[in-house]
A and B are shown apart, each in its own frame.
Chain A
Amino acid sequence: RKEVEQDPGPFNVPEGATVAFNCTYSNSASQSFFWYRQDCRKEPKLLMSVYSSGNEDGRFTAQLNRASQYISLLIRDSKLSDSATYLCVVVNNAGNMLTFGGGTRLMVKP
């Protein structure tokens, strides 16, 4: 089993739709989680951190479910500019390494 797993997609949604991605992780002791965004042929950039209590930033909401060992990203009112690959990231126990999921590709259509 991979340490961090994501559905590769693509998720094709119309503008204005709400879309959610999940990411599962194998190490139950993991403490910190992030979502990064990667545009086509560009480098990854931090989108948001995932806190135990959840985290909302505008149209984006990140949630953590420790019991089931997954994190989620919800995007409301999708924009064309949201089209990208979303990478789930888990910090290891020692806090010195990140493990990236394979990414979920989102395509928002007009």
Chain B
Amino acid sequence: DVKVTQSSRYLVKRTGEKVFLECVQDMDHENMFWYRQDPGLGLRLIYFSYDVKMKEKGDIPEGYSVSREKKERFSLILESASTNQTSMYLCASSFESSYNEQFFGPGTRLTVL
């Protein structure tokens, strides 16, 4: 059974803080993705990665960066958190090609005060 885990379910940070969101998958998937989900806007892709040390910008990369040092781990970094980054963050992974099913983690609800 595929498992995607995220480091925290709930996180509260202050404006200007550096925030790390961690995601780990146990199925040896090549692809990993970070989305944010907001009411009325749906899921929006922030960054994705096809391989270790590789990253590609999604639709809304501004204010975020990512790191993929190991195949199973994909980190999302908010260099200086802002209130408009308050959201639900979802990590996903899949085998090669987006034509394959994406498996999502449980999400991290981040609140920036």
Contact = CB atoms under 8 A, between A and B. Distances in A.
The interface size bin for chain B is: 20 to 34
B45 A97 contact: yes
Nearest to B101: A46
A15 to B, nearest CB: 27
Interface stretch (B11-19, B66-74, B103-111): B103-111
Nearest to A4: B42
Which label, helix, strand, loop or mixed, suits the secondary structure of the A interface? loop
Contacts of A44: 43, 90, 104
Given A95-B97, A96-B56, 12 more contacts: A42-B106, A43-B90, A43-B104, A43-B106, A44-B90, A45-B104, A87-B42, A96-B98, A97-B45, A100-B35, A100-B42, A103-B42
Interface of A: 4, 8, 32, 42-46, 87, 91-92, 95-103
